[in-house]
Chains A and B, each alone.
Chain A
C-alpha cells in the first residue's frame, strides 16, 4: 500500500522507473482478470494495454485515494465491459446468438496445449454464464474485491451481487458437472 503510494507519487513526477515497477507488479494480475472477464487473449491484452496507457496519461494529475490494485482492477472491468458491449453490437448486427464464439475462447494454440484440461473447461464454462455473474465471480475470487465494492461498480445492491455470485457459481457447477457426465 505504502509502496504503491510512493510509486504513484513518483509517477506524478514523471518517473519511468516507478511506472515500469507498477506495470511489472500488476500486469499478470490484470491480464488474468481481463482474460477471466473476456475470455479472449488478444482482447485481454488490449484491455491491459489501454488501462496502463490511460493511467500513464493521467499519472501527473492522479490522486490515489484507495488501493492502486483495486483502481486498476476497476479500470480493467470498465474496459472489459466496453469490449463486451461492442461484441454484442457486432453480434446483433451479424444476427448471431452467442457473442463469444467458442473457438476464440482460448485462441492461442501454445497456451491451449500448456493449459491444464481442468482450467480449459473452466474457461469454457465461464464463457457460458451471463456476463454480470461472471464479473461478480471473477472480481470477487480472482480480483479480491469485496461484494460491496463490486456492487458499487455495477451500481446495484450488495444482495444482488451476492445473488449473482451464487447463481454464477451454481451455473458453473452445473456446466462443469454436465461436462463431466458427458
Chain B
C-alpha cells in the first residue's frame, strides 16, 4: 500500500512544460482558428439554417443518417460501437435539454422585449440589448429603431460594428438608419439630450439655460472623449474629441444633477445650481474606476439568467445589468475609494439578496459569486373582527422594519392576498387599510415549505385627534401628519392627514394599542418623529421652526468675494448632533456661483439654532471648515457667517522603494478629522514615473496621509512628520509588501464563503490627531471554498481580522511579517 502511495506521488511529480516553439506553433494555429470561426458565426449560420432549402436538405441528411445507422445496428456492431452509441444518445439527450432551455429563455426574452417596447422603456431595452441572446438583440434593435430615440445610437453602433453577416442584413445598422431618418425631420421641441453623440455642437446661445463644460481625467488632466453626460442617468450625450459637452436645462428647479460616466472611470453625479437664461461652465474630473464581475447561481451551482443586479448605496450613475444565460454580470464605473457598496440581486423566482462588498482597486475587477436561495410564497385571507373578508387591504413584508425592499400585495374581493417569494427566516408581516387599524405580526418562515398561509384579522380603528403647534404655542396650519412607525415598522401607511387653520388633525385609521409614531411635514418646520400616547383623547405635537444658514465666502488676503465655490455640510462634531439635511450636502456638496460670494441652505428645513459643520471649497484656495455654524430664523435681517479662504498651498514629495528606486503609480490619499468618514471625498494624488506627486487644497486641519502601491507595503503617516520645508515633504520609503494566503472554515471545517479578510495598516502617529480611526489596508473576500489570497499586506506586526458576510467577527490574529514574506494564515481551524 505504501508503495502504491509512493507511485501515486511519483505520478503527481510528472510535469511537462511546453517549449517556446510549441507555444508559437499552437497559439498561431489557435488564433487563426478563432479568427476563422468568427467568419462563420452564429447569426449568419442562423440565417442559412432558416432557409427552407436548408431545412429540406437537413431533413434528407437526417433520414439518410438514420437509415445507415439502423442498417449498421441490424447487421451487428461490436460491443464498443454499441457502447459509443449509448454514449452518443446520452449526449444527444443532454444537448436536447440544453436546446430546450435556450428556447424557453429566448421566448422569455422576446416577450420581455415586447413589453419594454410597449412601455417605451429605453433603459430596459438597452439592458436586454447587452445581455440578451443574439436573436433577442436583433429584435431589440428593431424596437429601438421604431422608437427612434437618439440616445441609443452609440449602443447600436457598437453592435453594428460587431455584426458578422452581410451589411444589408445588419439589423443594428437598419435601426441606426431609422433613428437618423427620424432625427433628420425637424422636431418642434428638441433638447440637447436627444442630440447625436459627438455631433459638433453650436456655441451656446446666451438665452439658454444649461450646463456646459469639459470632462477630464483627474490624474492626467486629459480630456475624456465619449464620456456620457446628462441630467438623467439614462438620457445622456457623449463628449466630443476635446471632452466637451453642452446640456440644455428645461426643468424649473434651481439645482440640477449632472450624471457622468466613462469606460474605465468611476461614475459621478454632480449637483449644479442653475441660473435661468445662462449657461454654467463646469469641469468634471473622473478618477479611474473599478469593475464588479460576477455570477449568480442557485444553491446547486446552476447559473440564473435574468437576475437584476443593482448597486444600492451610490449617489452616482452605474448601469445595472441583468445576468446572461451563464448567470454572468458586469458592473463598470464603481468608485474604488469607497469603503464598501451594497449589491442587490433580484429575480422574480427568488427572494432578493443583498451583499456588502469592498470595491476592487482602481482599474481592476472584483469577482463575486452570488447564490440565490429558494423562498416561500406567503398568502392568506384578511378579515375584520366579524370574519368578513376585506378587499383593498395592502399587505407587505419587511425584515429590518424598513420598507425599501418589501413585497406588497392588495387583497381581492374575497379578501385574499398573495405575496411573491419571501425570504426564509424571520418575517414581519404588515397590513393597512383606510378604515381599519394597522396590523403588524412577526413570525418565522421555514425553508421546507413552498407556500405558507397566514390569515390576518384587522381590528377596528379609532380616530386619533391631535394638534400641531410650534414652541411658542402657535398652531401650524396646512401641515400634514402621517403615521411614520407602528410597532417597529416604518412608513407602512403613506396616507397624509391635513391640519386645519388651528393646527388640528384627525387620523381615522389609528390603532387602539401598540407603539405609534407620527411625523409632521410643512413649510417652515423641521420634520421629526413624535411618539403618541394612545391613552389620551388628543395628542399635542410641538414642532421646531426651520431656518437657514447664510454665508459669505471671501479671499482672506484681499477680502474680495470668491464667486465660485462648493459648500459641504455635515453634523457638528463639537455641538449637539443634528440631522435634517439632504445627503447631497454631505456627499458632493452644492456648487454656488455668486458675484458677491453669497450662499444659503435654501429649501433645507434645518431647525433654528441647530449646529452644523460647514466646509467651503474653491479652486485655488485651501478648503475652510467652520464648526459649529448656527442656523438662523428666516428673516430679512441676515447675519452671514464669513468664510475667509487662504490661497492654496501646494505640497510636493516623492515615493521611493527601500533600494532608492522611484515608485511609479503609488496612490496617496489625504484625510483629516473633517472628512475621515467621507472616504469618497479624500483628496488623492498619484506618483509619476519619477515617483513624484503634488497635492493642493488640503485645508487647515492636521492632515494624515495613506500611501499604497502595488507590491509595496501600505503605510499611514501624520503629514507634519513628513514636512521638510514649507510645501515640501521628505521621501516616503516603502518596503516590499507581504502576502497572506489561507482558508476560513467553520466549526465543521467547511470553508466559509465570502468572509471578509482585512489586514490593517497601523495608523501610527496619525492616531494622535484623529478622533475617529479609519480602517486602512488591503482586504479581500474568501472564495466559495473559503480560500483567500491577500497581497499588498503591510509588514511588521500586523493585525488581520475576518468578518462573515453577515458582519460578525470570525477571527482576529496578529502576525509578524517581513518584507516579501508569504505566510499561510488560517481562521477557524
Contacts and interface: CB of A to CB of B under 8 A. Distances in A.
B7 A169 contact: yes
Contacts of A1: 784
Select the residue from A27, A36, A116 with max chain B CB neighbours within 10 A: A27
Given A2-B295, A23-B27, A23-B30, A9 B326 contact: yes
Contact of A19 (B11, B30, B293): B30
B36 A2 contact: no
B460 interface: no
Nearest to B365: A6
A18 B326 CA distance: 17
Interface string A16-33: 100110010001100110
Contacts of B162: 13
A5 B326 contact: yes
Interface residues of B, number: 44
Interface of B is mostly: helix
Given A5-B326, A142-B12, A173-B3, A59 B37 contact: yes
Given A5-B326, A122-B14, A172 B7 contact: yes
B54 interface: no
Nearest to A121: B10
Given A2-B367, A52-B30, A56-B37, A28 B8 contact: no
A58 interface: yes
A110 to B, nearest CB: 10
A170 B4 contact: yes
Interface in A19-61: 19-20, 23, 27-28, 31-32, 35-36, 41, 44-45, 48-49, 52-61
Contacts of A177: 3
Select the residue from B4, B8, B18, B42 with max chain A CB neighbours within 10 A: B18
Contact of B42 (A28, A49, A55, A60): A60
Given A32-B16, A57-B37, A122-B14, A141 B8 contact: yes
A45 B34 contact: no
B84 interface: yes
A153 to B, nearest CB: 9
B83 interface: yes
B50 interface: no
Interface in B36-53: 36-38, 41-42
Interface in B77-101: 83-84, 86-87, 98
Select the residue from B16, B35, B293 with max chain A CB neighbours within 10 A: B16
Nearest to B31: A16
Contacts of A170: 4
A44 B16 contact: yes
Given A45-B22, A155-B86, A56 B34 contact: yes
B7 to A, nearest CB: 5
A53 B34 CA distance: 8
Contacts of A44: 16
Given A59-B37, A60-B41, A177-B3, A119 B14 contact: yes
Contacts of A56: 29-31, 33-34, 37
Contacts of B13: 116, 119
B328 A6 contact: yes
Interface in A131-180: 137-138, 141-142, 155, 169-170, 172-173, 176-177
Contacts of A6: 293, 328
Contacts of A173: 3-4, 7
B369 interface: yes
B75 interface: no
B23 interface: yes
Interface of A is mostly: helix
A16 B34 contact: yes
A73 interface: no
B26 A27 contact: yes
B19 to A, nearest CB: 8
A59 B367 CA distance: 23
A6 B36 CA distance: 21
A96 B214 CA distance: 79
A20 B83 CA distance: 36
A172 B23 CA distance: 32
Given A48-B26, A53-B29, A118-B10, A31 B16 contact: yes
A25 B31 CA distance: 16
Contacts of B16: 28, 31-32, 35, 41, 44
B3 A31 contact: no
B14 A142 contact: yes
Contacts of B772: none
A95 interface: no
B15 A32 contact: yes
Contacts of B87: 155
Nearest to B162: A13
A11 interface: yes
Interface in B725-782: none
Interface in B91-126: 98
Contact of B98 (A57, A65, A123): A65
B25 interface: yes
B806 interface: no
A64 interface: yes
A155 B82 CA distance: 10
Nearest to A122: B10
Nearest to A36: B14
Nearest to A35: B16
A52 B367 CA distance: 26
B11 A138 contact: yes
B99 to A, nearest CB: 10
A64 B30 contact: no
B17 interface: yes
A2 B30 contact: no
Nearest to B324: A9
A61 B86 contact: no
Contacts of B35: 14
B27 A28 contact: no
A173 B3 CA distance: 7
A5 to B, nearest CB: 6
Contacts of B86: 155
Contact of B11 (A20, A61, A141): A141
B29 A36 contact: no
Contacts of A31: 16-18
B34 A59 contact: yes
Contacts of A11: 34
Contacts of B36: 57
A63 interface: yes
A48 B4 contact: no
Contacts of B22: 45, 48-49
B367 A3 contact: yes
A135 to B, nearest CB: 13
A121 B84 CA distance: 35
Contact of A141 (B12, B98, B293, B784): B12
Given A49-B26, A60-B41, A141-B8, A32 B14 contact: yes
A23 B23 CA distance: 9
Nearest to A137: B11
A53 B10 contact: no
Nearest to A175: B7
B244 to A, nearest CB: 32
Contacts of B38: 14, 60
Given A5-B328, A19-B34, A122-B10, 12 more contacts: A5-B326, A20-B31, A23-B23, A28-B17, A44-B16, A52-B29, A56-B30, A57-B36, A58-B37, A141-B12, A142-B12, A169-B8
21 contacts: A9-B326, A14-B35, A16-B34, A23-B26, A23-B30, A28-B16, A28-B17, A52-B26, A53-B26, A53-B30, A56-B29, A57-B36, A58-B37, A60-B38, A65-B98, A119-B14, A138-B11, A141-B8, A142-B11, A170-B4, A176-B3
* 4 closest Cβ pairs, A-B complex: A56-B33, A155-B83, A56-B34, A141-B11
Interface of B: 3-4, 7-8, 10-18, 22-23, 25-27, 29-31, 33-38, 41-42, 83-84, 86-87, 98, 162, 293-295, 324, 326, 328, 367, 369, 784
